[in-house]
Each structure stands twice: as structure tokens, then as C-alpha cells.
Amino acid sequence: MATNLPQLVSTSTPTTGDCGTVTIELIQELSADLTAETTERTVVLPPSPYATQVTARATVVSHAAIGLRSAAYVGAVRRTRIRKIIQLTGDLGSNAARSDFHSYTFPVFDEIRSLLQFLGDREDLEGNTCAILRHIRNTLMDGGWNRYRDPGVREVAVAILQKLASVETVEPEDAALAFREMHAAGMSPSLPVTLDDAPEEGEQREEEISS
Amino acid sequence: MLTERPNSVITLLNATYEPQIGYARKLSEVAESVNRWFKNRHWFSTENSYTFRDPDGHFLFTARWNHLFFQTLGLKPWIDRVEEAGEMADKVLTGLNVKQLKSVSFRAQAFVDLEMAHSEIVDRLYATYLADRGELSHIASDFTDAAIALYGVRSGHKFRLSLTPQTPEQVKTSFFAVQNLEHFLVDKFVGNEIRDFWNGIAGKAALNVEIEISEDDLGTEWLKKFMQESISVANELAGVAVKHLLALPVSSSK
């Protein structure tokens, strides 16, 4: 048995039955990076006048690989959950005149955050989707939610989301176009920057140095 | 959708009818006529049935005293031969003096590789056709599998649509449980016809999509039309069903 195969999590000792039956159980757990490995076992059978049955069963335990999620699955979940965000965004219109409008935009923000959390595991597949969702999320931050009172702004957001809810893969051009459309609609897709005047630890202010 | 994956589809067209007086004599005469027309592809007979086949073309036809059926391994053999099959059915029904079919059905079974793990397909089935598993938590703490069957009418035809996520092992069990597979082998000792089909679906989880389009009490003059239409209805139905599972947009509903 090769000893340099960390994925081989369990083997059984060959068992010999009464009629020359040899059973070998191998359990192969796929590594998270799906590295291909070969496992081989050789059993020397003693000479026998009777028929000998050798059974070698290799079991692939695929939970680790499944945990990575397939591209088709992640795409399907993205489309399903984006539809919910579209509905929430579209529904904002009925509360656009309220003074506490920001509280109605929170579910949209929260749903985007939750979806980003899910897609974050497979950003290699859905990186462009994540970029667009972050841009939309940013437009709801730092008072940006106020712009969503405007039906035109909501329409822009919904149109961008509808694209995400209908395509199998989201391309880099889609992300670039979405950014331009949001910018043109007067939204702020860039992450709001918080300026912090407090000095970093160990850093002294200029006036302190000069004094 | 089925036409995009023709090599993972098994088809069966079945028509049943009331046996007519003198069917035993008529059936043998009909069989002779069909055999001549079908280039001597008679395969075997029993007391009340005659089976013809073209194993190279993955095509099987059986005429019995109370029903006839066509079976193909793959969708393309059926699409390519549906007109020929219509002629064969016509010869049998005319020869047996059958005017009315009790029922006719077209069944397509596809092993659709969605490039997903079994658990992912199950997850999508719950999310799109059933309910969020969280909403069902009062029933059970975990749901590991699911299967659904839908019945309805599309384009004027009754249908049954079943969607079953399958592990590679279940795909194997399901495929080898298909009846009459052995008759598609040119030579049962060395034939590769079934293995070639099997190799295309083996080792992968799949969504088993089974569609049956059916009609009751159909005049025999409408059989050819049904044979043609049922292919496109099944194809459309499979397409929208899988798109719905994948949350892809569906253009229209009928």
C-alpha cells in the first residue's frame, strides 16, 4: 500500500473466506483540489485447486468535491436568488415617498449581502456577478439608498439584475457595462471611502514631530 | 432539449387496440407484408407477436394482436425513421382492420447530465418545483432525495412528466432496467451498441427526465400526426422543465 496518499482514508485487511474468496475494500476520498491519484493493491493468491474469487471495490467519497459546488449549480442558485432581489427592488416603488424609505431598502441590501456570501466560495466562477452585486450594494450605502426613490434609478438596477437572472454565465463586459449604467443614472457604485484622521498606532502627527 | 442530447434518450411509441376477429390469421399476413417492406428485418416471433429490428439503426418494432410498439436507443433513430414507422404502423392497423386506437403514447426517457452532483440536483428540485427545505423542517430535519411527477396538457396533448435526480448508481440501475435492451445488440456476444450508449451516460449523476405524451380513443388516421407532434411536444416540455430547474428564463408556456 502506498503511504504517500493522504486521501486514502480507510482500507480493510484482505479477508479470505472458506472458498478462496478475497475481498478488498478501498475508500477513496477526493481531495479538495481534486488531485488525481492512483491506488493499487496487489494480493498474492496461494495455489489452489478451487476457483478463487477476488473482489476489489473502490468507493469514491465525493463529499469534499461536492462541497465545492458545480458551476451549473452555483449559476442556478444565482438566478433564483437574483429574482428575489429583483422583486424586492421593484417593490420599493410603493414606499418611495415614505420618510423611513431607507428601512425598505435594507432587505435588498441584506439579500445582496447574503448572496455575495454564498457566491464568495465560488468567486472563480461567479466573479463578475460578485463585482456587479458589490456595485449595486454600494449604491445603497452612504445615503445612496435615497436615489432609489427615483423610478428611473430602480429601473436601471432592475435591468442589470434581470441580466444576472437570465444568463448562464456573467461576462467581464457585463460588469463593465453595469458600472457605466449605474454611474450614468447618478448612482454611486464605488465603495464609499471613510476618511479616518486618527493616526495609526506608532505614528505621530506632523505637529507633534515638529514640536 | 432532447434533440440537443439525442444519445441519452430512449424512446417508445405504443399503440393499443381491440383485437379483431380473425386476428391470428391476419397478423401473420401483416407480418409477412411488413417484413417484405422492411427489407427482411424479421427478428423473432411468438404465438401472437412479430418483432422486427434494425440493430445498426437502433430501431425495434413489434406488432402484437392487441398493440404495437416502436422502441429506439437514442432519439435520432426515431426522428429519422418516424415516417417509415408511420407506414409500418399503417400496414399493421390496416391489415388487422383496426379503425380506432384505444390509446397511443410516446415516451421519451432522457438521462440529462446537468454537470451537477446528485445532491445539487436534489437541491434545485426542492428550490424550483417543491419548497425551500427550511420551510419543510417541521416534517424532517433533512431531505436527501426527491422525485416529482407532473400531469397536464400541453399543445392539446396529455402528458406525464417525471423528474428524478439520480446518482451514477441509480442511472445504472435505471438504464439496465429498460426492457428489450438486448434486442439492440447485433451480436449478443460482441455487440457494442448498448455499451456505446451506456458509456455516454455512465459514471455521472443525472436528472432522469421521463415524458409520456398520450391520447385515448384516437382514430388510426391520426396516428402519423401524433407520432410527428409528440416528438416536438416532448422536446419542448423537457426543455422548459429543465430550464425551470436551472432557473433559466422560459420564453413561453402553452
Strand order in the sheet with B42-46: B42-46, B49-54, B59-64, B67-73, B9-16, B100-112, B206-219, B157-166, B148-154
| Interface contact flag, A80 B120, Cβ < 8 Å | no
What pLDDT sits at residue A72? Answer: 94
Residue range B28-56, pLDDT digits in tens: 899 999 898 888 788 888 888 999 999 88
Question: CA-nearest residue of chain A to B203?
Answer: A60
pLDDT higher at A166 or A68: A166
* Interface touch A83/B247, C-beta < 8 Å: yes
Is residue A163 less than 8 Å (CB to CB) from chain B? no
Chain A residues near residue B132 by CB distance under 8 angstroms: none
Give percent of chain B above pLDDT 70.
Answer: 99
Pick A25 or B152 by higher pLDDT: B152
For residues A112-135, one letter each, b for 16 or more C-beta atoms within 10 angstroms of the residue's C-beta and e for the rest, the string is beebbeebeebeebbebbbbbbbb
Inter-chain touch B119–A166, beta carbons under 8 Å: no
Cα angle, residue B46 at apex, residues B43 and B52 outer, rounded to 5°: 25
Subunit contact A80:B247, Cβ cutoff 8 A: yes
CA atoms within 13 A on the CB side of B58: 22
Find all residues with CB under 8 Å of A59, minimum gap 6, and list them. A25, A26, A27, A28
In chain B, where the domains are located = 6-245
Separation in Å, CA of B213 to nearest CA in chain A: 28
- CB-CB under 8 Å, A166 with B127: no
With cut-offs at 50, 70 and 90, classify the pLDDT of residue A200. low
Q: How far is A98 from chain B (nearest CA, A)?
A: 32
Query: Residue range B51-65: average pLDDT?
Result: 92
Strand extents, DSSP E, chain A: 8-11, 15-16, 21-29, 53-61
* pLDDT band at B252; cut points 50, 70, 90: low
What share of chain A in percent tops pLDDT 70? 62
The distance of Cα A202 from the centroid of its chain, to the nearest Å, equals 38
pLDDT of residue A199: 55
Q: What interface predicted TM-score (ipTM) does this complex get?
A: 0.83
Which residues does chain A have within 8 Å of residue B202's beta carbon, measured at their own beta carbons? Answer: none
pLDDT at A2: 38
Alpha helices (runs of H) in B76-216, residue ranges in sequence order: 76-95, 118-128, 168-176, 193-201
CA proximity to A149, closest of A112, A198, A183, A102: A102
Interface of B with A (CB under 8 A): 114-117, 119-120, 123-124, 127-128, 245-249
Taking contacts as CB-CB distances below 8 angstroms, the residues of chain B near A65 are 117
pLDDT in tens, B157-174: 999 999 999 999 999 999
Residues of A in contact with B115 (CB under 8 A): 70-72
User: Could you tell me the pLDDT band of residue A83, with boundaries at 50, 70 and 90?
Assistant: very high
Bigger pLDDT: B21 vs A13: B21
B62 CB-near residues (< 8 Å, 6+ apart)? B49, B50, B51, B52, B68, B69, B71
Q: What is the pLDDT of residue A201?
A: 54
* Residue position matching grid coordinates 399493421: B92
